[in-house]
Chains A and B, each alone.
Chain A
Amino acid sequence: MKRSDLNGMLANQKANIEEVEDIELIDALEKYGKNFLLPERAKLIQLGDKVYAPGKWTVKDILQHFIDTERIQSYRVLRFARNDKTLLPGFEENEYAATANASHRDLNELLEEFYTVRDSTTRLFKSFSDETLMKTGKLPSGDISVLAMGFAITGHAIHHIKVIKEKYYGLL
Protein backbone atom coordinates (compact mmCIF):
# COMPACT_ATOMS: atom_id res chain seq x y z
CA MET A 1 0.00 0.00 0.00
CA LYS A 2 1.06 3.57 -0.71
CA ARG A 3 1.10 6.79 1.28
CA SER A 4 -2.02 7.95 -0.63
CA ASP A 5 -3.89 4.93 0.83
CA LEU A 6 -3.73 6.54 4.26
CA ASN A 7 -7.03 7.83 5.48
CA GLY A 8 -5.93 10.27 8.11
CA MET A 9 -2.78 10.68 10.19
CA LEU A 10 -1.90 12.12 13.57
CA ALA A 11 -0.84 15.77 13.57
CA ASN A 12 2.51 14.98 15.18
CA GLN A 13 3.30 12.28 12.59
CA LYS A 14 2.23 14.32 9.56
CA ALA A 15 5.59 16.02 8.95
CA ASN A 16 7.46 12.70 9.06
CA ILE A 17 4.95 10.92 6.83
CA GLU A 18 5.09 13.72 4.25
CA GLU A 19 8.86 13.28 3.91
CA VAL A 20 8.09 10.10 1.94
CA GLU A 21 6.87 10.19 -1.66
CA ASP A 22 3.76 8.29 -2.74
CA ILE A 23 5.29 4.83 -3.19
CA GLU A 24 4.63 1.35 -1.77
CA LEU A 25 5.55 1.13 1.92
CA ILE A 26 7.97 -1.79 1.47
CA ASP A 27 9.75 0.08 -1.36
CA ALA A 28 10.00 3.16 0.86
CA LEU A 29 11.46 1.17 3.78
CA GLU A 30 14.04 -0.34 1.42
CA LYS A 31 14.86 2.87 -0.46
CA TYR A 32 15.44 4.84 2.72
CA GLY A 33 17.30 2.12 4.57
CA LYS A 34 20.88 0.96 4.00
CA ASN A 35 21.17 2.45 0.49
CA PHE A 36 20.12 5.83 1.81
CA LEU A 37 22.69 6.02 4.60
CA LEU A 38 25.63 4.30 2.95
CA PRO A 39 26.47 7.23 0.60
CA GLU A 40 26.62 9.53 3.66
CA ARG A 41 29.00 7.33 5.63
CA ALA A 42 32.23 9.14 4.75
CA LYS A 43 30.75 12.53 5.69
CA LEU A 44 29.25 11.17 8.90
CA ILE A 45 32.67 9.84 9.92
CA GLN A 46 34.35 13.17 9.06
CA LEU A 47 31.83 15.00 11.22
CA GLY A 48 32.79 13.03 14.32
CA ASP A 49 31.44 14.78 17.39
CA LYS A 50 30.99 18.22 15.76
CA VAL A 51 27.72 20.01 16.49
CA TYR A 52 26.37 23.26 15.00
CA ALA A 53 25.44 24.78 18.38
CA PRO A 54 26.23 23.91 22.02
CA GLY A 55 24.06 21.13 23.44
CA LYS A 56 22.96 19.80 20.04
CA TRP A 57 23.09 16.09 19.30
CA THR A 58 26.15 14.68 17.51
CA VAL A 59 25.69 12.59 14.36
CA LYS A 60 26.07 9.48 16.55
CA ASP A 61 23.33 10.72 18.90
CA ILE A 62 21.06 11.24 15.90
CA LEU A 63 21.72 7.74 14.52
CA GLN A 64 21.14 6.24 17.97
CA HIS A 65 17.92 8.25 18.21
CA PHE A 66 16.45 6.94 15.03
CA ILE A 67 17.52 3.38 15.84
CA ASP A 68 15.79 3.66 19.25
CA THR A 69 12.72 5.24 17.67
CA GLU A 70 12.48 2.59 14.97
CA ARG A 71 12.72 -0.18 17.59
CA ILE A 72 9.93 1.45 19.60
CA GLN A 73 7.74 2.22 16.60
CA SER A 74 8.03 -1.29 15.19
CA TYR A 75 7.14 -2.75 18.58
CA ARG A 76 4.00 -0.59 18.58
CA VAL A 77 3.19 -1.70 15.05
CA LEU A 78 3.44 -5.36 16.09
CA ARG A 79 0.95 -4.79 18.90
CA PHE A 80 -1.50 -2.97 16.62
CA ALA A 81 -1.21 -5.71 14.01
CA ARG A 82 -2.13 -8.26 16.68
CA ASN A 83 -5.37 -6.36 17.49
CA ASP A 84 -3.97 -5.19 20.81
CA LYS A 85 -5.85 -2.04 21.88
CA THR A 86 -3.71 -1.27 24.95
CA LEU A 87 -2.82 2.42 25.21
CA LEU A 88 0.95 2.30 24.67
CA PRO A 89 3.39 4.53 26.55
CA GLY A 90 5.35 7.33 24.91
CA PHE A 91 9.04 8.00 25.53
CA GLU A 92 11.17 11.07 26.24
CA GLU A 93 13.60 11.28 23.34
CA ASN A 94 16.04 13.66 25.04
CA GLU A 95 16.29 11.46 28.12
CA TYR A 96 16.79 8.40 25.93
CA ALA A 97 19.56 10.16 23.99
CA ALA A 98 21.28 11.30 27.20
CA THR A 99 21.14 7.77 28.67
CA ALA A 100 22.21 6.05 25.46
CA ASN A 101 25.39 8.16 25.40
CA ALA A 102 26.01 7.32 21.76
CA SER A 103 29.14 9.46 21.50
CA HIS A 104 30.96 6.53 23.10
CA ARG A 105 29.88 4.20 20.32
CA ASP A 106 31.58 3.48 17.01
CA LEU A 107 29.88 5.11 14.02
CA ASN A 108 30.20 2.01 11.85
CA GLU A 109 28.65 -0.09 14.59
CA LEU A 110 25.70 2.32 14.74
CA LEU A 111 25.26 2.16 10.98
CA GLU A 112 25.37 -1.66 11.06
CA GLU A 113 22.77 -1.65 13.81
CA PHE A 114 20.53 0.64 11.78
CA TYR A 115 20.74 -1.64 8.71
CA THR A 116 19.77 -4.67 10.81
CA VAL A 117 16.93 -2.88 12.59
CA ARG A 118 15.59 -1.66 9.24
CA ASP A 119 15.80 -5.19 7.85
CA SER A 120 13.84 -6.42 10.86
CA THR A 121 11.24 -3.66 10.37
CA THR A 122 10.91 -4.46 6.67
CA ARG A 123 10.32 -8.15 7.39
CA LEU A 124 7.68 -7.24 9.94
CA PHE A 125 5.76 -5.10 7.45
CA LYS A 126 6.22 -7.69 4.69
CA SER A 127 4.32 -10.17 6.84
CA PHE A 128 1.24 -7.94 6.95
CA SER A 129 -1.77 -8.17 4.63
CA ASP A 130 -3.46 -4.97 3.38
CA GLU A 131 -6.14 -5.59 5.99
CA THR A 132 -3.52 -5.64 8.76
CA LEU A 133 -1.95 -2.42 7.44
CA MET A 134 -5.30 -0.70 8.00
CA LYS A 135 -5.59 -1.81 11.65
CA THR A 136 -5.20 0.93 14.25
CA GLY A 137 -3.85 1.14 17.77
CA LYS A 138 -3.64 3.63 20.61
CA LEU A 139 -0.74 5.99 21.31
CA PRO A 140 -0.64 8.87 23.82
CA SER A 141 -1.17 11.27 20.86
CA GLY A 142 -4.18 9.37 19.48
CA ASP A 143 -5.15 6.41 17.29
CA ILE A 144 -2.88 5.57 14.35
CA SER A 145 -2.84 2.85 11.68
CA VAL A 146 -0.11 0.30 11.04
CA LEU A 147 0.39 1.79 7.55
CA ALA A 148 0.79 5.33 8.91
CA MET A 149 3.35 4.03 11.41
CA GLY A 150 5.30 2.47 8.54
CA PHE A 151 5.51 5.78 6.69
CA ALA A 152 6.27 7.63 9.93
CA ILE A 153 9.23 5.28 10.57
CA THR A 154 10.56 5.87 7.05
CA GLY A 155 10.01 9.63 7.14
CA HIS A 156 11.53 10.06 10.58
CA ALA A 157 14.93 8.84 9.37
CA ILE A 158 14.64 10.97 6.20
CA HIS A 159 13.89 14.01 8.36
CA HIS A 160 16.99 13.53 10.51
CA ILE A 161 19.29 12.94 7.53
CA LYS A 162 17.95 16.18 6.04
CA VAL A 163 18.80 18.03 9.25
CA ILE A 164 22.31 16.57 9.16
CA LYS A 165 22.75 17.70 5.54
CA GLU A 166 21.39 21.18 6.18
CA LYS A 167 22.94 21.99 9.54
CA TYR A 168 25.98 19.75 9.97
CA TYR A 169 27.55 19.25 6.53
CA GLY A 170 28.51 22.94 6.44
CA LEU A 171 30.80 22.32 9.41
CA LEU A 172 33.16 20.23 7.29
Chain B
Amino acid sequence: MKPSDIKILPNHFDTYIKKVEDVELFDALEKYGKKYLLAERDKFIQLGDKVYAPGKWTVKDIIQHIIDAERIFSYRALTFARNDQTLLPGFEEDDYATAANGIKRELNELLDEFYTVRESTMKLFKSFSPEVLMREGKGPLGNISVGSLGFTIVGHAIHHMGVLKERYYGLV
Protein backbone atom coordinates (compact mmCIF):
# COMPACT_ATOMS: atom_id res chain seq x y z
CA MET B 1 0.00 0.00 0.00
CA LYS B 2 1.19 3.50 -0.93
CA PRO B 3 -0.06 6.93 0.18
CA SER B 4 -1.75 7.27 -3.24
CA ASP B 5 -3.90 4.23 -2.30
CA ILE B 6 -5.54 6.21 0.53
CA LYS B 7 -8.92 7.24 -0.86
CA ILE B 8 -9.82 9.89 1.69
CA LEU B 9 -7.07 11.49 3.75
CA PRO B 10 -7.93 11.64 7.46
CA ASN B 11 -8.38 14.95 9.27
CA HIS B 12 -5.35 16.43 11.03
CA PHE B 13 -3.04 13.49 10.19
CA ASP B 14 -3.13 14.32 6.47
CA THR B 15 -0.26 16.79 7.16
CA TYR B 16 1.95 13.90 8.27
CA ILE B 17 0.90 11.51 5.53
CA LYS B 18 1.79 14.15 2.92
CA LYS B 19 5.37 14.22 4.26
CA VAL B 20 5.95 10.71 2.92
CA GLU B 21 6.72 10.11 -0.74
CA ASP B 22 4.60 7.64 -2.69
CA VAL B 23 6.33 4.40 -1.62
CA GLU B 24 5.13 1.15 -0.06
CA LEU B 25 4.32 1.51 3.65
CA PHE B 26 6.83 -1.10 4.75
CA ASP B 27 9.62 0.56 2.75
CA ALA B 28 8.68 3.94 4.22
CA LEU B 29 8.79 2.58 7.80
CA GLU B 30 12.22 1.13 7.11
CA LYS B 31 13.64 4.13 5.23
CA TYR B 32 12.61 6.59 7.95
CA GLY B 33 13.55 4.35 10.86
CA LYS B 34 16.96 3.54 12.33
CA LYS B 35 19.08 4.71 9.37
CA TYR B 36 17.23 8.00 9.21
CA LEU B 37 17.90 8.94 12.82
CA LEU B 38 21.35 7.40 13.08
CA ALA B 39 22.59 9.87 10.45
CA GLU B 40 21.62 12.73 12.80
CA ARG B 41 23.08 11.27 15.99
CA ASP B 42 26.22 13.43 16.13
CA LYS B 43 24.22 16.61 15.64
CA PHE B 44 21.79 15.57 18.39
CA ILE B 45 24.65 14.97 20.79
CA GLN B 46 26.16 18.38 19.93
CA LEU B 47 22.79 20.03 20.50
CA GLY B 48 22.44 18.62 24.02
CA ASP B 49 19.72 20.53 25.83
CA LYS B 50 19.79 23.63 23.58
CA VAL B 51 16.42 25.02 22.52
CA TYR B 52 15.67 27.79 20.02
CA ALA B 53 13.25 29.64 22.34
CA PRO B 54 12.41 29.41 26.06
CA GLY B 55 10.04 26.57 26.92
CA LYS B 56 10.60 24.64 23.69
CA TRP B 57 11.28 20.91 23.74
CA THR B 58 14.86 19.69 23.72
CA VAL B 59 16.03 17.09 21.19
CA LYS B 60 15.52 14.42 23.86
CA ASP B 61 11.95 15.62 24.51
CA ILE B 62 11.28 15.41 20.77
CA ILE B 63 12.65 11.87 20.44
CA GLN B 64 10.69 10.81 23.51
CA HIS B 65 7.59 12.34 21.93
CA ILE B 66 8.16 10.49 18.64
CA ILE B 67 8.51 7.21 20.60
CA ASP B 68 5.38 7.83 22.70
CA ALA B 69 3.32 8.80 19.65
CA GLU B 70 4.51 5.74 17.72
CA ARG B 71 3.54 3.44 20.59
CA ILE B 72 0.08 5.04 20.71
CA PHE B 73 -0.49 5.09 16.94
CA SER B 74 0.59 1.46 16.56
CA TYR B 75 -1.78 0.43 19.35
CA ARG B 76 -4.58 2.14 17.42
CA ALA B 77 -3.52 0.32 14.26
CA LEU B 78 -3.68 -3.03 16.09
CA THR B 79 -7.12 -2.27 17.49
CA PHE B 80 -8.51 -1.25 14.09
CA ALA B 81 -6.89 -4.26 12.40
CA ARG B 82 -8.81 -6.47 14.81
CA ASN B 83 -12.12 -4.87 13.75
CA ASP B 84 -12.50 -3.18 17.11
CA GLN B 85 -14.84 -0.19 16.65
CA THR B 86 -14.28 1.31 20.12
CA LEU B 87 -13.73 5.08 20.02
CA LEU B 88 -10.12 5.43 21.18
CA PRO B 89 -8.92 8.24 23.44
CA GLY B 90 -6.51 10.97 22.40
CA PHE B 91 -3.54 12.19 24.44
CA GLU B 92 -2.18 15.58 25.49
CA GLU B 93 1.30 15.68 24.01
CA ASP B 94 2.56 18.50 26.22
CA ASP B 95 1.41 16.76 29.41
CA TYR B 96 3.05 13.56 28.19
CA ALA B 97 6.32 15.35 27.45
CA THR B 98 6.33 16.97 30.90
CA ALA B 99 5.58 13.66 32.65
CA ALA B 100 8.15 11.78 30.54
CA ASN B 101 10.91 14.23 31.41
CA GLY B 102 12.93 13.04 28.42
CA ILE B 103 15.71 15.49 29.25
CA LYS B 104 16.85 13.23 32.10
CA ARG B 105 17.39 10.30 29.76
CA GLU B 106 20.50 9.34 27.80
CA LEU B 107 20.27 10.30 24.14
CA ASN B 108 21.68 6.93 23.03
CA GLU B 109 19.15 5.10 25.17
CA LEU B 110 16.33 7.10 23.56
CA LEU B 111 17.65 6.32 20.08
CA ASP B 112 17.92 2.61 20.91
CA GLU B 113 14.36 2.66 22.19
CA PHE B 114 13.19 4.35 18.99
CA TYR B 115 14.91 1.67 16.85
CA THR B 116 13.23 -1.11 18.84
CA VAL B 117 9.80 0.52 18.76
CA ARG B 118 10.12 1.03 14.99
CA GLU B 119 11.08 -2.61 14.52
CA SER B 120 8.05 -3.62 16.54
CA THR B 121 5.87 -1.32 14.40
CA MET B 122 7.29 -2.83 11.19
CA LYS B 123 6.54 -6.38 12.36
CA LEU B 124 2.99 -5.34 13.21
CA PHE B 125 2.37 -3.81 9.78
CA LYS B 126 4.11 -6.70 8.02
CA SER B 127 1.50 -9.03 9.51
CA PHE B 128 -1.36 -7.09 7.87
CA SER B 129 -2.84 -8.04 4.48
CA PRO B 130 -3.81 -5.26 2.01
CA GLU B 131 -7.41 -5.81 3.14
CA VAL B 132 -6.50 -5.22 6.79
CA LEU B 133 -4.60 -2.03 5.86
CA MET B 134 -7.87 -0.62 4.45
CA ARG B 135 -9.86 -1.25 7.66
CA GLU B 136 -11.00 1.83 9.51
CA GLY B 137 -11.46 2.51 13.18
CA LYS B 138 -12.48 5.43 15.35
CA GLY B 139 -9.61 7.67 16.39
CA PRO B 140 -10.04 10.71 18.66
CA LEU B 141 -9.91 13.04 15.64
CA GLY B 142 -12.16 10.96 13.38
CA ASN B 143 -12.14 7.75 11.39
CA ILE B 144 -8.79 6.60 10.08
CA SER B 145 -7.58 3.44 8.33
CA VAL B 146 -4.81 1.12 9.49
CA GLY B 147 -2.69 2.07 6.47
CA SER B 148 -3.20 5.80 7.08
CA LEU B 149 -1.99 5.28 10.65
CA GLY B 150 1.11 3.58 9.27
CA PHE B 151 1.93 6.56 7.06
CA THR B 152 1.08 8.92 9.94
CA ILE B 153 3.71 7.16 12.07
CA VAL B 154 6.33 7.63 9.34
CA GLY B 155 5.36 11.22 8.51
CA HIS B 156 5.14 12.28 12.15
CA ALA B 157 8.81 11.41 12.72
CA ILE B 158 9.76 13.11 9.42
CA HIS B 159 7.89 16.23 10.53
CA HIS B 160 9.82 16.46 13.80
CA MET B 161 13.15 15.83 12.08
CA GLY B 162 12.28 18.70 9.74
CA VAL B 163 11.68 20.99 12.72
CA LEU B 164 14.98 19.94 14.28
CA LYS B 165 16.87 20.65 11.07
CA GLU B 166 15.19 24.00 10.47
CA ARG B 167 15.12 25.44 13.97
CA TYR B 168 17.72 23.63 16.06
CA TYR B 169 20.65 22.82 13.79
CA GLY B 170 21.49 26.52 13.45
CA LEU B 171 22.24 26.52 17.20
CA VAL B 172 25.33 24.31 16.82
Contacts and interface: CB of A to CB of B under 8 A. Distances in A.
B120 A83 contact: no
Contact of B116 (A78, A91, A116): A116
B30 interface: no
B45 to A, nearest CB: 19
A89 to B, nearest CB: 5
A112 B72 contact: no
Contacts of B75: 71-72, 75
Main secondary structure of the interface of B (DSSP, over half): helix
Interface in B72-126: 72, 74-75, 78-79, 81-84, 86, 88-89, 91-92, 95-96, 99-100, 105, 109, 112-113, 116-117, 119-120, 123-124, 126
Interface stretch (A32-40, A41-49, A119-127): A119-127
A69 to B, nearest CB: 10
Contacts of A84: 91-92, 95-96
B83 A99 contact: yes
B74 A71 contact: yes
B71 interface: yes
Contacts of A112: 123
B71 A99 contact: no
A71 B124 contact: yes
Interface residues of A, number: 32
Interface residues of B, number: 32
B11 interface: no
A91 B82 CA distance: 10
A102 to B, nearest CB: 9
Contact of B68 (A82, A100, A109): A82
Interface string B121-135: 001101100000000
Interface in A73-93: 74-75, 78-79, 81-84, 86, 88-89, 91-92
A65 to B, nearest CB: 11
Contacts of A105: 127
Given A75-B75, A105-B127, A127-B105, A120 B116 contact: yes
A84 B79 CA distance: 19
Contacts of B119: 116, 119-120
Interface string A6-21: 0000000000000000
Contacts of B88: 89
Given A117-B120, A120-B120, A89 B83 contact: no
A88 B89 contact: yes
A99 to B, nearest CB: 5
Contacts of B71: 74-75, 78, 120, 124
Contact of A100 (B72, B82, B113, B126): B82
A52 interface: no
Contacts of A120: 71, 113, 116-117, 119-120
Interface of A: 68, 71-72, 74-75, 78-79, 81-84, 86, 88-89, 91-92, 95-96, 99-100, 105, 109, 112-113, 116-117, 119-120, 123-124, 126-127
Interface of B: 68, 71-72, 74-75, 78-79, 81-84, 86, 88-89, 91-92, 95-96, 99-100, 105, 109, 112-113, 116-117, 119-120, 123-124, 126-127
